[in-house]
């Protein structure tokens, strides 16, 4: 039977990228998605904004919702200070299987903990599962209708502290209107929009950066 898009992306990485070199894995995926087959990685343009926020926050505890093939997990983990880990959550087992291989190929497997499951189930267990108190940084890139319920859950579970940073992908395309309305109007958040484009296209999209005020 025909291979899947994530499997074809993995094959390109194994064929073209340098093993153990995260930047070459990132560049290989971007080249493949721009010239061979589009895929829903955050991409190079929004990825540069993601990089700058990660460097600014320099998080001790970081969570990604929506691993897909592991592209943004590699982008984030390559910038984390030694001894810190990214927890990344993927619901789809086929995506998770490819992501594990791409993460291992990049050599960052010791900095990334990939968990399979539903965010609504995992978030309430994070403190006990990972021995963390609060999250310094959260990258939202999973189902767009889960962004709002999941940050409300993060609040309820006391996983956010004054200064925690949320960075959300696709707030324009596909769009997360209820999430945007909430973080832009809630007195508990200070929000800022970073205008960009949908990965590998000229379509408008952007990232919303929100600071939890406690
Ligand atoms: O749906 C997206 N991501 C979620 C994938 C499933 C997450 C599963 N999961 C993981 C954890 N909990 C649940 C997504 C879509 C697009 C897009 C844009 C335009 C278009 F025409 C088609 C697609 C662009 C993105 O950048 C995206 O991120
Ligand atoms: Mg996305």
Instruction: Answer yes or no: are the C-beta atoms of 203 and 211 closer than 8 Å.
Output: no
Cα(91) to ligand 1 centroid in Å equals 12
- pTM flag (> 0.95): yes
Q: What is the pLDDT of residues 143-182, one digit of tens each?
A: 999 999 999 999 999 999 999 999 999 999 999 999 999 9
Please give all residues whose beta carbon lies within 6 A of any atom in ligand 1, as ranges.
Answer: 40, 65-66, 68, 89-92, 119, 141-143, 169-170, 173-174, 198-199
Q: Given the CA of residue 67, which atom of ligand 1 is nearest to it?
A: 10
CA distance 47 to 126: 26
User: What are the strands of the beta sheet with 61-65, ordered from one edge?
Assistant: 112-116, 85-90, 61-65, 135-140, 160-168, 204-212, 189-197
- Length of the chain equals 214
Q: What's the whole-number mean pLDDT along residues 67-92? A: 97
Q: What integer pLDDT is reported at residue 41 of this predicted model?
A: 98
Note whether 149 and 116 are within 8 A (CB).
no
- Binned at pLDDT 50, 70 and 90, residue 1 comes out as confident
**Are 22 and 51 contacting, i.e. CB atoms less than 8 angstroms apart?**
no
Task: Point out the ligand 1 atom lying closest to the alpha carbon of residue 174.
Answer: 18
> What mean pLDDT is reported for the chain?
98
212 CA → ligand 1 middle, Å = 24
């Amino acid at each position: 039977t025909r291979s899947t898009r994530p499997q074809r992306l993995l094959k390109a990485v194994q064929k073209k990228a340098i093993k153990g070199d995260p930047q070459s894995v990132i560049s290989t995926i971007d080249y493949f998605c721009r010239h061979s087959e589009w895929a829903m990685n955050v991409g190079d343009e929004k990825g540069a904004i993601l990089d700058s926020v990660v460097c600014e926050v320099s998080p001790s505890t970081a969570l990604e919702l929506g691993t897909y093939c592991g592209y943004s997990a590699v982008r984030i983990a390559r910038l984390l200070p030694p001894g810190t880990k990214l927890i990344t959550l993927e619901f789809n087992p086929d995506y998770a299987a490819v992501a594990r291989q791409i993460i291992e190929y990049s050599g960052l497997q010791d900095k990334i903990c990939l968990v399979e499951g539903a965010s609504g189930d995992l978030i309430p267990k994070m403190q006990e599962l990972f021995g963390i108190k609060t999250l310094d940084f959260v990258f939202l890139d999973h189902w767009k209708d889960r962004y709002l319920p999941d940050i409300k859950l993060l609040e309820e579970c006391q996983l956010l502290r004054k200064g925690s940073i949320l960075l959300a992908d696709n707030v324009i395309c596909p769009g997360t209107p209820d999430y945007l309305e909430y973080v832009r109007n809630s007195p508990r958040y200070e929000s800022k929009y970073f205008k960009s484009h949908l990965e590998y296209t000229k379509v408008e999209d952007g990232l919303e950066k929100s600071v939890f005020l406690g």
